[in-house]
Chain A
Amino acid sequence: MTRRFDLWATLTDPLIRQNPVTLQILGICSALAVTTSVATALTMAVSLTVVLTLSAGVISVIRRHIPDTIRLIVQIVIIASLVIVIDQVLQAYFIEISRALSVFVGLITTNCLVLGRTEAYARYHPPHHAMVDAFGNGLGYSLILIVIGALRELLGKGTLLGQPVLPLAEAGGWFTPLSLMLQPPAAFFLLGLAVWAIRSVRSEQAEPPQSAELVRKEPGE
């Protein structure tokens, strides 16, 4: 019973409480770049979650046999292979979205979130734990991406998943699209607001002021 409870916590913790994007500020680069519409954000979220979960599983299976000296390169080779395959699948079956995501699928390889989870968790835990943890983190990343993507598409184009939601001024409605929302800075603003909102509600996430020595040494992106 306690075991199942653990798994549940491992899965749901990264959604808000330990969210990789808003708490650990990992994977920002892609989170900002692909959130101009829900469709691209969704595809990126699914791709990253799949890569993250599979790579955590594979690395966890061979975790006892990875020599420490070459562990990073082994992890990156496994992650990069999965990323290439995902990219090829997208190019074959979702050519339009693949074009919209351009290089950012390839850049999942260098996403700190993936390497961070395999390095910090999958190397020390059995496969099913590692995969649940990775899936949870993927969901946390997806949640932020989709929320920001939805807000940017709604405010920037008045649509959601390409379907008109707000009546546009040029079509006789009242809504004038905010083109700023489609520009990269808007993603920063929205992400900043999200971090602020989450840390206001969950004040334990807020970092104490002037805590340079306490700042966690995370790989930055």
Chain B
Amino acid sequence: MDNPERNPLRRLMALPNESRAKTLLVAFAVSAVCAAFVSGATVLLRPIQAANRAAEEQARIAALVRGVPGMADLLEQSGGALSSVVIDLARGRAASGVTPESLPAALADAANWSAIEPAEDLAGLGQRPNYAQVFLLREDDRISLALLPVSGLGYNGRIDAIVALRGDMNTVAGIAVTRHAETPGLGARIEEPAWQASWPGTLIRDGEGTVRFAVARGSASGVHEVDGITGATRTGNAVTRMVRFWMGPGGYGPFIAAVQRGEF
């Protein structure tokens, strides 16, 4: 009885190549095999890639801190380590019950994400986690440097970055782009030190507390702007919106206010 089972396939394979059935069969077979092959490789290699990305992020954080004048000494004094805190974004306080170790598990739970109103969704994220891990460097009980991870939708995909703020929580001390998919040679220059060099010293908010930060079109004019990248206006706008969202009330606003009140 196994002849009728095996024969249909053989008969299909023996069909002339131009027949419709054979064409469909070959198309489906090739796609299925290729899909399995690609998915298999992606799944197998993902842990290694994730480890690479984490290591790189650590390296960028370290480089970011070293790049801020005076911070290397401070880092030495504090034992060479940044303190890492998980904060509750909406309340602007250290999160109760979530540690940096348990954060990935907490973020895997959809209950710990909030939808962002479309009108407020400058960064194009759709939703943001309720918790974020920030890195703080202290000097005599006062925060002298805060590293705040931000993310937003760029021109070709998500941009992840870390913004370093001085102790006044208004002056940018530096930026590190940890992940992006911008156009090589244009938007991708956001990861080049030459562009990032225009960030330190830029102010996020004006005297009234309104977020004024922007990536300029062309050269920066004024204390709230950083230089633009020629040919990458859309990437620049995305960075502007990303920083404005995360430094505003929907992002780190409550946390920044708490630090400025001296509650941290």
Q: Which residues of A contact B (CB under 8 A)?
A: 62, 64-70, 73-74, 77-78, 80-81, 84-85, 88-89, 91-93, 95, 102-103
Contacts and interface: CB of A to CB of B under 8 A. Distances in A.
| Interface of chain A, main secondary structure | helix
B22 A67 contact: yes
B192 to A, nearest CB: 12
Give the one of B26, B34, B184, B188 with max A CB within 10 A.
B34
7 contacts: A62-B30, A65-B13, A66-B26, A67-B17, A80-B34, A81-B34, A93-B48
A70 B42 contact: no
A103 B184 contact: yes
A98 to B, nearest CB: 9
Interface of B is mostly: helix
Q: Nearest 4 CB-CB pairs, A to B? A: A81-B34, A92-B48, A92-B45, A67-B23
Q: Is the interface on chain B under 10, 10 to 19, 20 to 34, or 35 or more residues?
A: 20 to 34
B42 A69 contact: no
Interface string B88-129: 000000000000000000000000000000000000000000
Contact of A69 (B13, B23, B41): B23
Contacts, number: 60
A81 B184 contact: no
Given A84-B41, A89-B41, A102-B184, A95 B30 contact: no
B52 A88 contact: no
B31 A77 contact: yes
Interface of B: 13, 17-18, 22-23, 26-27, 30-31, 34-35, 37-38, 41-42, 45, 48-49, 52, 56, 184, 188
Nearest to B18: A67
Contacts of B184: 102-103
Contacts of A93: 48
A77 B45 contact: no
Nearest to A66: B26
B31 A88 contact: no
A74 B23 CA distance: 10
A74 B52 contact: no
Nearest to B31: A77
A81 B41 CA distance: 10
Nearest to B19: A67
A88 B30 CA distance: 20
Which of B22, B27, B188: most chain A CB closer than 10 A?
A: B27
A103 B157 CA distance: 14
Contacts of B52: 91-92, 95
B154 to A, nearest CB: 15
